[in-house]
């Protein structure tokens, strides 16, 4: 128990004083190794061996694909196409933003990339249509979390790597909660627009011929962008390529489309995207390396079994245990980003959920929806603060609409995902077979 308290205490203190996450994990690992007498010869080879996984290569590749989309102006035609379909409806432009975030998530798997790319285009449009700036920014920030649920997802890749669960099954498990969350956001926006008297009335439909001409024209321009998620997910679910190979295909597809189709990508922009991605990926990989050394100590100290034993000693009621797990994940999400939270909580809680009869596939959806919700929950709330910068607004203006989206959008999806297994398991079982739910130890 001392190991648990000390490790969490050091991490929280280092996070609160502003130390970068990668260095916080490294310093925590070094301190704990010294206090509990662990040799680096015992910890570092294990971390190195885990980092040799080819699967991890998919993370930088998906990040690069998202960055190329942003720099290459690939997202604009995609948003225009979605706008031509739903902008005639009440709250249509807000719906455009939510759907665009979901589609972008099917390419990049990164929430930060989604708010930076889609948000920078949609927030000014929403404001011009009469949406309050704070609300528009909150809607785009919350919807950016769809990138972590709609496959492919970097969080799901990490979960599968940490827990030895099929990445394809994890991708499919997040699709149901992701679609449900998008629907909730659209419904919330529909009601919210009714209270904003400044929002312009939707465009009239016009004749069927005019609408068909507009949709087909913008659809043709958006076709290369629309094909990108189809190609990525098609090769994964069709068994043609692994997630890592699909990520490489995404990059190979995005670069020529950005250069020669939409002509928004230049050599300078591509170099800028690669430099930014290298910085982000470097930080993630350093963090993962030290996190693996840290997990070696967790396993040696028998921490996962201790936590499972403690929770099961409190109660054997599955409903209550799931509430405890969700409350714990909610607290973790308040103070950590999704990557850090996944690294810490997945190995700790997996033995517990297996004891109460949940599959690791369902738990991938539970943990990801919780940690995604944490990205919108103060005090850390990285999506709120990033959205604040992109939307040129204040935390005060974003706080109320953000909390509405959290408690009426994210929270119901978390509970439904936790207590109704078919939401996350139906699609993996339908495409991969029931054997995918058998634990892989």
How far is the C-alpha of 219 from the C-alpha of 222, rounded, in Å? 5
The pLDDT assigned to 439 comes to: 62
Of 174, 175, 86, 148, the residue nearest 122 (C-alpha): 86
pLDDT in 10s for each residue of the chain, 441 residues: 678 788 878 887 887 787 877 788 889 889 989 888 888 888 888 888 888 888 888 888 888 888 888 788 788 888 889 888 887 788 889 999 999 999 888 877 778 888 888 888 899 999 999 999 999 999 999 999 999 999 888 889 999 998 989 999 999 999 999 999 999 999 999 999 988 888 888 777 777 788 888 889 999 999 998 888 888 888 888 888 888 898 899 899 999 999 999 888 899 999 988 888 888 788 888 888 888 888 888 888 887 777 878 888 888 889 999 999 999 898 888 877 888 888 888 988 988 898 888 999 999 999 999 999 999 998 778 899 889 989 999 999 999 999 999 999 999 999 999 999 999 999 999 988 888 886 654
Q: What percent of the chain has pLDDT over 70?
A: 99
The pLDDT assigned to 188 comes to: 96
Domain boundaries, the chain: 38-437
How far is the C-alpha of 138 from the C-alpha of 257, rounded, in Å? 31
The pLDDT assigned to 21 comes to: 74
What pTM value is reported for the model? 0.88
The model's pLDDT over 89-146, given as tens digits with 9 standing for 90+, comes to 888 899 999 999 998 888 777 788 888 888 888 999 999 999 999 999 999 999 999 9
The model's pLDDT over 299-315, given as tens digits with 9 standing for 90+, comes to 888 877 778 788 888 88
How far is the C-alpha of 66 from the C-alpha of 119, rounded, in Å? 13
The pLDDT assigned to 304 comes to: 75
How far is the C-alpha of 179 from the C-alpha of 149, rounded, in Å? 9
């Amino acid at each position: 128990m001392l190991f648990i308290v000390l490790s969490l205490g050091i991490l929280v203190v280092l996070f609160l004083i502003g130390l970068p996450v990668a260095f916080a994990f490294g310093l925590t690992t070094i301190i704990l190794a010294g206090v509990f007498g662990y040799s680096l010869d015992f910890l570092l080879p294990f971390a190195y061996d885990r980092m040799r996984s080819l699967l991890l290569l998919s993370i930088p590749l998906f990040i690069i694909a998202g960055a190329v989309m942003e720099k290459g102006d690939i997202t604009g035609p995609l948003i225009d196409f979605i706008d031509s379909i739903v902008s005639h409806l009440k709250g249509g432009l807000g719906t455009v933003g939510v759907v665009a975030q979901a589609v972008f998530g099917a390419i990049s798997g990164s929430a930060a990339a989604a708010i930076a790319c889609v948000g920078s285009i949609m927030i000014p449009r929403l404001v011009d249509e009469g949406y309050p700036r704070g609300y528009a920014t909150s809607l785009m920030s919350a919807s950016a979390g769809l990138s972590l649920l709609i496959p492919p997802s970097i969080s799901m890749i990490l979960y599968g790597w940490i827990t030895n669960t099929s990445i394809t099954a994890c991708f499919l498990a997040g699709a149901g909660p992701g679609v449900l969350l998008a629907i909730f956001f659209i419904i919330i926006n529909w009601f919210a627009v009714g209270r904003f008297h400044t929002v312009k009335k939707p465009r009239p439909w016009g004749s069927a011929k005019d609408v068909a001409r507009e949709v087909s024209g913008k659809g043709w321009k958006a076709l290369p962008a629309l094909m990108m998620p189809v190609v990525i997910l098609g090769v994964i679910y069709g068994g043609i390529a692994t997630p890592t190979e699909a990520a490489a295909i995404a990059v190979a597809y995005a670069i020529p489309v950005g250069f020669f189709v939409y002509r928004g990508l230049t050599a300078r922009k591509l170099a800028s995207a690669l430099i930014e991605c290298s910085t982000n990926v470097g930080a993630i990989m350093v963090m993962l390396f030290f996190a693996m050394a840290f997990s070696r100590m967790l396993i040696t100290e028998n921490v996962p079994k201790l936590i499972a034993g403690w929770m099961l000693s409190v109660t054997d009621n599955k409903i209550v245990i799931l509430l405890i797990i969700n409350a714990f994940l909610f607290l973790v999400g308040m103070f950590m980003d999704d990557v850090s939270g996944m690294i810490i909580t997945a190995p700790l809680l997996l033995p517990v959920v297996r004891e109460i009869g949940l599959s690791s596939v369902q738990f991938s959806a539970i943990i990801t929806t919780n940690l995604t919700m944490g990205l919108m929950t103060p005090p850390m709330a990285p999506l709120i603060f990033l959205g604040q910068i992109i939307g040129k607004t204040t935390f005060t203006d974003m706080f109320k609409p953000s909390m509405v989206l959290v408690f009426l959008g994210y929270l119901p999806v978390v509970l439904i995902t936790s207590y109704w297994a078919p939401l996350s398991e139906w699609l993996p079982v339908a495409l991969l077979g029931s054997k995918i739910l058998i634990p892989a130890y």
